[in-house]
Structure 1
Amino acid sequence: MFKFVAMRWIFILMLFSCSTQAQKRITYAVKGNDTLYIDHYEPTTTPNGMSIMFVHGGGFTAGDPKNQRPFAEGMCKKGYNVFVISYRLYLKGGSFGCNTATPVKLKAISTAVEDAADAAKYIITNAATLKVDTSKFFISGSSAGAETILQLLYNPWATTDKARYDYFATPRFKGALVFAGALIDINTLKQDNWVPMLLMHGTKDQLVPYGTASHHYCSANSEGWLMLFGAKTILEQAKTWNKPAVLYTYPGKGHEVANYMFREFDKMDAFMQDVVKGKQIKAEDVIVEEKTK
């Protein structure tokens, strides 16, 4: 009896350890005093062949890959191979608000984009070792991370850093999952560089605009005025060009939607499954009415 009980507990502990497996940490670059790394989470169920690179938020001042573990583990349970990257926080301990000069803000964004590009190239270059099917490789980000991935996909710095970004002239991502993100230049979005996008945004986001407005809604005469083009504006362009994009709009919600990657696992999974299967995805705005407690 004792042996049976002991074996039962060992089995339970094994299941628990599998469901919360420790990630593998990989260094992808060393830049100055920053050692940049990737936290790799492997599927905890039958692999579905798809991989995701995720970029965390934090206003380019803070944030940590370890805090994205609930997202990674949630997707691993659905068979995904997940990579959460670190990147240089140019404004670490500072502010990304209206009093931070616009050129400094742009430097913070471009620094993150550089690192995201280098991390993605590392993953793709080491695809065989990391069990990545590069034809089913998605990119995702939240808030500052969402701005980072959008700028990597539709890159305003592509011509000024060809050594780094020419690699991405060939499409490297199957699609993008964007949580409360925005573009800094809508003109970088073109018909021939479009990737299928799943966008989630709250209509009352006061940090990253849902449509077209200044970052943090800073006044035009403030030092940190920076125009941004949010999810609604991106979707309108998708409709004009008949490109694949699904926007989940959350009426009355604010920047908290940036954290919805911790809960909308079924929506993310369905989108990526449709993209990989080649299902036709029309530009669509899905209004999600949530009950207030």
Structure 2
Amino acid sequence: MKQIILLLFFSWTLPFQAQERFIDAVFDVEKTITKTYITKDGENLKLDIYQPENDTLSSRPVIIFMHGGGFSGGTRTNEAEVKFAETAAKKGYVAVQISYRLTRKGQSFGCDYSALGKIKTFKLAAEDFMDAVNFMIQNKEEYRINPDKVIVGGSSAGAEAVLNAVYNERLMFEDLSNYENFKFAGVFSLAGAIVDARYITEENAVPGVFFHGTEDNLVPYGTGPHHWCDRDKPGYIILDGSHSIVERLRQLDSSYLLYSFEGGKHEHSGMPFDYLPEVFNFFNSVFLNGEKRQIEVWK
């Protein structure tokens, strides 16, 4: 009889356990706000802002995400990106999905496109990304954003732009004056890479969460040619992928969470919904609360 009473008590208490902001879905989502963050080459570059409804917190972390698509396609309104933004907003984040110039639309970004052209593509996309961050920080009062808690992320091409902007800023930008006050709390990368991991220093070793297939056929998991182009092809360029970036962060004693998918290819540029609870736990403990964690997970 005592056992039955205890079980009944347990079942009644479970629904009333406190939910935790940034971990659990504690909000509904406000109507999405669309803004033009800058106009370039006659194109209005837009972003969508997702916010928790009836949230009274005056200073909130923001997640700014850049979609993939080989710099030729994709959209900020992809179903997966929208679902991720809504998931983040329900947890108490301000979530932002951005569009950017698709400079390779209708054109190749493979082995027949020059290495110098690829670098220029990275630079232009990284510039658009930083301009979107700048817009959100300039409007921090309106959207109640904490400029010290800016989390940035991207998928595939978007991840390449974001990672290069964060870790290779000296290679990407001739003039950093417009962005020198940015302080990134963390990076979220899905199958991304940078030009050179050696440019990651103690000053810019931002903690990161990384997902990557070990046999990615487009963006190297470690250090290797982009699209695995042959050395004699115009598009031959060596990039440092997630594993190489994490190795550099480890050397610099920065935090990271790396999911490596044995034998996986570029499909791991997709949003990892099955692992988002672990991702948001890491966001909360490391990006928001400054805990030190170095975690590698093999799948």
| Equivalent pair of 1:74/1:265 in contact (CA under 8 Å) | no
Q: Does 1:155 align with 2:168?
A: yes
Closer/same/farther in 2, CA of residues 23 and 262 from structure 1, 3 Å limit: farther
Q: Does 1:278 align with 2:290?
A: yes
Listed one character per residue, the Cα deviations across residues 141-183 of structure 1 (whole Å, up to 9, x for unaligned) are: 1101111111111235568531xx2343344211111111111
Residue equivalent to 1:28? 37
Q: Does 1:71 align with 2:84?
A: yes
- Please, which runs of 5 or more residues in structure 2 have no aligned partner? 1-26
1:160-175 superposed matches below 5 A: 161-162=174-175, 165-175=176-186
Shift of 1:64: 0.5
Residue equivalent to 2:67? 56
Higher helix share: 1
Residue equivalent to 2:51? 42
Partner of residue 264 from structure 2, selected from 243, 250, 253:
253
Listed one character per residue, the Cα deviations across residues 79-115 of structure 1 (whole Å, up to 9, x for unaligned) are: 2210111110110121211111112211211110111
Task: Work out the percentage of aligned pairs sharing the same amino acid.
Answer: 34
Q: Distance in 2 between matches of 1:159 and 1:252?
A: 31
Q: Distance in 2 between matches of 1:175 and 1:159?
A: 19
| Equivalent pair of 2:190/2:268 in contact (CA under 8 Å) | yes
Partner of residue 123 from structure 1, selected from 105, 124, 136:
136
| Equivalent pair of 2:168/2:195 in contact (CA under 8 Å) | no
| Equivalent pair of 1:51/1:80 in contact (CA under 8 Å) | yes
Q: Does 1:107 align with 2:107?
A: no
Normalising by the residue count of structure 2, what TM-score does the alignment of the two structures yield? 0.84
Residue equivalent to 1:230? 241
Q: Which amino acid aligns with 2:268?
A: V
Closer/same/farther in 2, CA of residues 34 and 159 from structure 1, 3 Å limit: closer
Q: Distance in 2 between matches of 1:45 and 1:205?
A: 42
Task: Give me the CA root mean square deviation.
Answer: 2.0
- Please, which runs of 5 or more residues in structure 1 have no aligned partner? 1-17
Listed one character per residue, the Cα deviations across residues 220-272 of structure 1 (whole Å, up to 9, x for unaligned) are: 11011111101111111122222111111111211111113444321221111
Question: Greater shift after overlay, 147-156 or 194-203?
Answer: 147-156
Normalising by the residue count of structure 1, what TM-score does the alignment of the two structures yield? 0.86
Q: Distance in 2 between matches of 1:35 and 1:151?
A: 23
Residue equivalent to 2:279? 268
Shift of 1:24: 0.8
Residue equivalent to 2:105? 92
Q: How many residues align?
A: 268
